[in-house]
Structure 1
């Protein structure tokens, strides 16, 4: 049942009736209030206070009402900040260490809004391109699309060995890094390439595929960039199916796009020239991401999930 608090006009009216000697019953009928409510005010007035004093007393009590703001101990703050510095997200921290955080994941994000944690330490969120953006970059004239992939691999969404691939470019679009991510384990691979030409991409992917067990990976899904125009040669040489997402539909390779955003945060920013970096450096960045638990993996790391699938295939 909703209770309506006394207004200032009602308080002043009760005070006026009280000073005139009006009975509580008559005051109650005139205001349409309960007898107990009127008695509360009159008893306060009998102590020598005014209606204004009652209102100030009411405001002071009201400030103490409601849910108190959540606060964390310094040990909890230090623990969370340490994990944020390791590129953990707040939901992963809470999911991986539920007993060490006294509040919920939603509350953690509210605390971030209250500046308890640095916003720049949180994972990147938001769209990089506005709604209605139309892809104008080069597109493959002939390509194998996702409909063909669905026919060849009916268990695509549940079986291990399907990759999503792309390139992330460096400063002034003069250098690039190849990124690959396995769909089930979300394990990320980063490959160094000499340049952005199709021949450079082909050479780097051929070198990497020649080092992994044959037929470990069944397919790769790229975007429609010109840098993957030599896909037939790669497919024939390693007996791996290569498909392409529809133009302007990055959501069809959503995992790869998300992984690229994580790599941007953890050592491969847009302002960086990738020409001089080594494969060892790139592997270290991917290794860091692959050792962080993922909420979508039930708080296991990509490495753990990947190894479990490899053991089942052995």
Structure 2
């Protein structure tokens, strides 16, 4: 039960430790005193052990893992009233591999050299604002670094702070969605109603503003789904995600339709500014989504301000005459102040756009060739609709009631661009205001 005898430090070791305290790096200090790499590692570990012993003597709580340590006082040293009891629970730092300490992760993390400079500037009484300016960091970064990684007794020590930050960086823990509960059930229900992970994450804040436990990031939802896919639940993932993918892929622009016509038309460049900046409601974007072998189609309409969706049933074909009649019938259901204009691509199905304009009193503007981004709201909506009407299916199998059901579901989803309101709510507000 006797204490362990430690060998007296050599003059070279004392010189090395003094250089380290002054802010020198491990390699520079070892080179200066003529020590080997192995010796410098050993001296640093010994210094870490001394810091741990000092922590035990002061019985101070640190943000480290807790372990039960049994300590014994020297027989020749009587215990005083201010000393900790002979057996106590003392916090000790988490062991960190040297490779982890020296590995550069990202420029967003403070490096050991930056922490050494922070300690040096603080020893000269430099303010946090000046330290941040000297390091090119925000004052908040410096403040959080000192608050989180300072020793309660010894103050801010760069090497101890670096060890603490490295140990806290990796926090292996189970996903918030791994265990059943209210949050798990909420996410599952919304996924089954085809909500995106981002929609779910934002609506949790609106529906549970005072419950911090009902919070989950979109990335956590994606990772939970992709992890399940690797575990063999590909069917559930395909039902939950709109894309049906079981693994990530890089974003790229899909191939777009290239059929165009050259009849006289109004180019999108002539569209008024009030349409371009979405300041005035009542301006629409439209397109067709086609079925197997382009033998069937559905016309899609999206209001630019509210993102409200309307689907046009085309039971016979998608010729210019059928599209014209379907659009006239659908647009006629809207009040006059919501029939401003229509933006379409240069597809041959709009060859009768003049007749449509006369019947509805709506100007039709045409995008430039191969420029689907000029009607981005409609392109986004068409992508969402493919979850309900997959490519290669016969769209004639869907009747007007089916299209109305899909439109209502899309219009009932919260949208990020609407500050997480739904298109139906925004359109309702317009109708009430008018």
Partner of 1:50: none
Correspondence 1:38 to 2:160? no
Correspondence 1:216 to 2:216? no
Partner of 1:108: 221
Q: Which runs of 5+ in 2 are unaligned?
A: 1-5, 17-34, 51-94, 98-163, 244-248
- Contact kept, 8 Å, 1:163 with 1:181, in 2: the verdict is yes
Q: Matches of residues 33-182 of structure 1 in structure 2 within 5 Å?
A: 37-38=45-46, 66-72=170-176, 73-75=179-181, 76-98=183-205, 99=208, 101-115=214-228, 119-120=237-238, 121-124=240-243, 126-127=251-252, 129=254, 136-150=258-272, 153=274, 156-182=277-303
Partner of 1:13: none
Q: Secondary structure at the match of 2:301?
A: strand
Partner of 2:396: 275
User: Mean alpha-carbon deviation: is it higher for 33-42 or for 166-175?
Assistant: 33-42
Partner of 1:46: none
Partner of 1:297: 418
1:149–1:257 distance in 2 versus 1, CA, 3 Å: same
Q: After superposition, what is the alpha-carbon deviation per residue over 1:101-156, rounded to whole angstroms, capped at 9, x for unaligned?
A: 333334434444444895532344844526xx8x64223332111121126x4675
Q: Which runs of 5+ in 1 are unaligned?
A: 1-20, 43-56
1:203–1:36 distance in 2 versus 1, CA, 3 Å: closer
- TM-score (ref. length: structure 1): 0.76
Q: Secondary structure at the match of 1:181?
A: strand
Name the CA distance, whole Å, in 2 between partners of 1:188 and 1:160.
13
Q: Secondary structure at the match of 2:281?
A: coil
The number of residue pairs the alignment matches comes to 277
State the shift of 1:280 in Å: 1.1
1:279–1:36 distance in 2 versus 1, CA, 3 Å: closer
1:58–1:204 distance in 2 versus 1, CA, 3 Å: closer
- Contact kept, 8 Å, 1:221 with 1:242, in 2: the verdict is yes
Name the CA distance, whole Å, in 1 between partners of 2:359 and 2:47.
92
Q: After superposition, what is the alpha-carbon deviation per residue over 1:134-180, rounded to whole angstroms, capped at 9, x for unaligned?
A: x64223332111121126x4675211100000000011110100000
Name the CA distance, whole Å, in 1 between partners of 2:433 and 2:344.
27
Q: Which structure has the bigger radius of gyration?
A: 2
Name the CA distance, whole Å, in 2 between partners of 1:224 and 1:149.
15
State the shift of 1:260 in Å: 0.7
Name the CA distance, whole Å, in 2 between partners of 1:107 and 1:199.
48
Q: Give the structure, 1 or 2, with the largest relative contact order (CA under 8 Å, sep 6 or more).
A: 1
Name the CA distance, whole Å, in 2 between partners of 1:247 and 1:74.
51
1:103–1:209 distance in 2 versus 1, CA, 3 Å: closer
Partner of 2:123: none
Q: Secondary structure at the match of 1:236?
A: helix
Name the CA distance, whole Å, in 1 between partners of 2:356 and 2:241.
38
